[in-house]
Structures are given as structure tokens and as C-alpha cells.
Amino acid sequence: MASSCLGTSSLNNLNLNHKSLPRSRVKFRPPAAVKLPHLDSDSTGPHWLVGRGAAVLIAASLCLADPALAFKGGGPYGSQVTRGQDLTGKDFSGQTLIKQDFKTSILRQANFKGAKLLGASFFDADLTGADLSDADLRSADFSLANVTKVNLQNANLEGALATGNTSFRGSNIYGADFTDVPLRDDQREYLCKIADGVNPTTGNATRETLLCE
């Protein structure tokens, strides 16, 4: 995608001849304590600086308005744009992605094995077939997410959110820790039927964290 920011060469190509600028566009009222040299219609210094300065400000505002840059980084860690993206099959294994924003992204078959994803948001994301084994998912948000056929083996989901239509159907949850994860009754019932193992990090049994009877 072409950038909307103006570079130096673009600025130089702008028609900023001070003689072509209306005087009303370049005159301003300085603070009382500041004295400026007289600006006449033939001046090439101050007028030119004002015109060029205005162009720089315009260019800067265009950069700030770039919607792609609004999601640059997706969170305080990482440099990728990860919100609302098609990231099918992308490898994030072992990365530190604390509070990373994956809202509404397509993450099918993505690899998050061993990644640090504390507080990351997967709100309304499609994680079908993704590998989240050994991942630190404490306080992650899976609200409305499709978490079917996902590998959650030995993952730590303590305090994660799984509200709405979040589904874990067909997922591998061996050794996963679901402590304090709010689950719908039907999801809890389903997961309790397949729950097994002990999380190697917390030492908690998966069945116990799901409050299975």
C-alpha cells in the first residue's frame, strides 16, 4: 500500500513560491514579546519559511491520518500490524507478544507455540487449527473467537476471557490450565469430557481447573 506521508522530494515539488501565496495565508500575529522583521511582498526569507512550514505541517497531518499506522505494532510489544489481518499460517512461535492486538484477524493454522501472550486480544478472531501449545495466555481475550481444533496442550489460560460464542470444539486441551476462565455450561461440559493431564508450569490438573465433577 502506498504511503500517504510526503517525503522531502515531494515537498520540493510543491509550488510554494511565496509570490503565488495570498498575503492572508502567510501573515500571522506573533506573541507580544517577539519582534519579527518587516514582511513585504517581495521578501524571500520569512514568507518562504512560513509557506514551507505550513506544507510540513500538512504532510505531518497526512502521516498521522494514515489508518495503517493507527494499528502499527498492534500493542506495546511487536512491530507487526496484527489487527484485522489475514495471518493464516504465520509463525509467532516463541515470541513475546504481551497485550498484542489480534482482534478480528484470521489466524488459521498460525503457530503460537511457546509464545508469551499475556493480555493479548483474540476478540472475534478465527484461530481454527492454530498451535497454542505451551503458550502463556493468562488474561488473554478469546471472546467470540473461533478456537476449534486448536492445540492448547500445556497452555496456561489463567484468567482468560471466553465469553459469547467462543468454541473449543475439537481442541487438544491436555495439560491446559483453565483456572478462573468463565465458560458457558455447554463448553465446560464438553471440555470436561476430554480433559486430562497436568499443566507443567502451574502444576494444576486440567480437570480441576475446569471444575469438572
Dist. CA 177–CA 157, nearest whole Å: 6
Predicted local distance difference test score (pLDDT) of residue 164: 86
pLDDT higher at 185 or 71 = 185
Of the CA atoms within 13 Å of residue 11, those in its CB half-sphere come to 17
Give the pTM. Answer: 0.65
Mean pLDDT taken over the chain: 77
The single-letter DSSP state of residue 18 is G
Q: Give residue 144's region: left, alpha or beta (phi > 0; psi -120 to 50).
A: left
Average pLDDT over residues 21-43: 47
Confidence of residue 79 (pLDDT cuts 50, 70, 90): low
**pLDDT digits 0-9 by tens, 102-139:** 999 999 999 999 999 999 999 999 999 999 999 999 99
Average pLDDT over residues 61-77: 41
**pLDDT digits 0-9 by tens, 144-191:** 999 999 999 999 999 999 988 899 999 999 999 999 999 999 999 999
Predicted local distance difference test score (pLDDT) of residue 213: 85
Predicted local distance difference test score (pLDDT) of residue 165: 87
> Above 80 in pLDDT, residue 2?
no
Predicted local distance difference test score (pLDDT) of residue 170: 96
Q: Are 67 and 5 in contact (CB under 8 A)?
A: no
What domains, with CATH codes, occur in the chain? 8-70 (no CATH), 71-213 (2.160.20.80)
Dist. CA 85–CA 100, nearest whole Å: 13
> Above 90 in pLDDT, residue 25?
no
